[in-house]
Structure 1
């Protein structure tokens, strides 16, 4: 994710140049850290290759994408029967390239500039302030169709198994957490576009959070983006009952959800991020359509 540093775009290009623009200079930022999973009280049992599993199938976008482009995921959801889940997701070469190009084109429009490893600056459009909400919103818009195809597969499985909101949430969170954590130093704004997160099996805190937010909202779960500039981290909140850390927004309380590693229950926040006063909800648009 992202954190403010002392350098601003203003100091780079001068007050006179920025005075001619209606956009706002955004400070350089750096990516967040991986939250280590909590230590289990007992050792996890070894994976049994004969264990029953629920196969959610293969999602290819477009449908004629070669199957070998799909990344396969295998994860467990306690409380579901069977607990072991599997799904594969892949994008066509042209689709993947187009999403990368759209992301880079947007960075050019915002005058994105890399400042070194995991640090960057850009010029935010009017009304966006100094957080990442406009970048997240643009990625949700530009990646809507390929993510929707993935969400439809989850929605179908949820309906067929008659899962409740809590079970549906855990199904999707387990999938997103299974995706490999990686700081995307090669991507503008330090974020992997959401459709590319499962297609490339990589993403950091906000890369995974945007994907999870889109999938959860698609299946009807009340979810919001949680953001802390001071802590250099992002997560999501879900509007489900339960205990643990909750972040309030617009009269609702959202359970904190850590996505960077497996093993974090809803409402449990890593100790280094357990400062609720430093977290806030970023209002993001509902998915198109």
Structure 2
């Protein structure tokens, strides 16, 4: 009996070390890079408007996702917590990730509308009433994430599953996602919210590439009169590189998360053993971490956001050089 208990303790220690060693470096990197981009937007007077406010909200949600990342793999493990604490540690990370995904859809939709209708960009309702969509991408995920707190949970089943303490004991019940999220709630979130959001992002990205391709063809028709064949070839090569980069970035960022939502969730619903829990920890860390990189890629690819950071770094380097070059008094 003691050997079995020691084996269970060693397995739990391995799982804890796996969670912290996987999530903490990724979480710190995501938080620092998002904060750097937030600082660049906040310090620049030119970056004012609905488009930049949308992206700023996305970066804030990216910081929140980085904060919630170490807590997400714990959802697949049992912990001795009260029901209120168990509800908090499950609902709060779920809300932060749903808000991040809604902000991501909003940013892609705004860019798609701006590219599809460039002459009517200032007349878009997203720009005229930008506070309404900003409020929606935070309030709607919060309302959906709070459904278990409003009563849609398995707390009634917890007393019949052997997870609750005995009447004359003070031990806390085991906290598990099964006592918070019913199977119907999980399937509704995965296939009713997450999957349509990812498909809409993919569809808008493909549409933007098609519009860009049409604009490129129009430019090449105009340049045929000049017969600048070399410049047309460079433009075609640049567009091909852009398509390849967008495709690889989408597969690298969303591929692990798609695998996590379909494989990791099935592992939990089937009540897999320790090997299944380990796979769920790895899939959740890699899947959520890869999606949190998306706003960083969007921000680093935009010179409007990277130029203020470069100027700040140059000023700091210049001051350091002048300090070292000045003679000592």
Tell me the TM-score normalised to structure 1 length.
Answer: 0.30
The structure where helix makes up a greater share of residues is 2
